[in-house]
Amino acid sequence: MTEPPVISIRGLVSRFGSHLIHDGIDLDVNRGEILGLVGASGSGKSVLLRCAIGLMPTTAGHIEILGHVTGQMGDNEAKTLRHHWGVLFQDGALFSSLTVGENIEIALKQLPELPAALVTDIIHAKIALVGLPADAVHKYPSQLSGGMRKRAGLARALALDPDILFLDEPTAGLDPIGASAFDELILQLRESLGLTVFMVTHDIDSLARICDRIAVLVDKKLIVDTLPHLLEIPHPWVHDYFHGPRSHAAHIGE
């Protein structure tokens, strides 16, 4: 394995005013991997994701994505890099004044112009890819259910065939059937599109089912390992997290 990691974070420090959120975080995500990020509410999981995609400035540290050091890039380099990742925000964050199809189209419009017929085909393929019915393309986000909005958000994130997919609590607010269907979809997309997935989640079932490795954010630091190894870590929060009643319900640690 000589290929460098797709995402490489070294010594990340971030703070809100005087409040320290991350104190020296190191993380590598390898190509084709699904990494789950967990932590207590308010521990800065989403902040870490926002730092990684450059929506939030960091106080110190080094973030390298696909060989580009974020924060040291020119505007053009940053723009190109953004075409190589897709982000799914919590409730999809679809543009409410546009239909699902137009939401995907607007992502494609950032590139040099493609023939209109090809664009239409690409949009329909992305919608089919995330398992939405074909008629969703002309619907507005307000006409979709929560689960469909997430799928539509995922279709938009996949519009430019990214290498990396950032997911912020992809299964939150979905019923268990919808949530496991979404997990299945992520696995399938990783398989077919060769995606690297970085997901923030609270869903212990998703963790057990689809994540190759898990990063636990405790005491402003990260502990990264595979699930079986994490189960043996004596840290009280980590222990409680993976040995709690909910974990047992998900058949973790049995």
The residues that touch another protein, with contacts defined as CB under 8 A, are 83, 96, 108, 111-115, 117-118, 120-122, 124-126, 128-129, 134-135, 137-138, 142, 158, 160-161, 192-193
Closest CB to another protein among 40 and 114?
Answer: 114
What does the alpha-carbon distance between residue 210 and residue 218 come to, in Å, rounded to a whole number?
A: 22
- Identify residue 14 by its one-letter amino acid code: S
Q: How far is the CB of 43 from another protein (least distance, A)?
A: 24
67 token code pair: 């060989």
Closest CB to another protein among 83 and 220?
Answer: 83
Q: How far is the CB of 192 from another protein (least distance, A)?
A: 5
Q: How far is the CB of 103 from another protein (least distance, A)?
A: 15
Closest CB to another protein among 120 and 226?
Answer: 120
> Residue 62 in contact with residue 69, Cβ under 8 Å?
yes
Q: How far is the CB of 160 from another protein (least distance, A)?
A: 6
- Identify residue 60 by its one-letter amino acid code: A
What does the alpha-carbon distance between residue 231 and residue 244 come to, in Å, rounded to a whole number?
A: 11
Burial 173-194 (b: 16+ CB within 10 A, else e): ebeeebbbebbebbeebbeeee
Three-state DSSP state, 24: strand
Q: How far is the CB of 126 from another protein (least distance, A)?
A: 7
What is each CA distance from 197 to 90, 139, 160, 163, in whole angstroms? 15, 28, 15, 9
- Identify residue 18 by its one-letter amino acid code: S
What does the alpha-carbon distance between residue 170 and residue 180 come to, in Å, rounded to a whole number?
A: 11
Q: How far is the CB of 135 from another protein (least distance, A)?
A: 4
Closest CB to another protein among 2 and 142?
Answer: 142
Closest CB to another protein among 141 and 147?
Answer: 141
Closest CB to another protein among 106 and 118?
Answer: 118
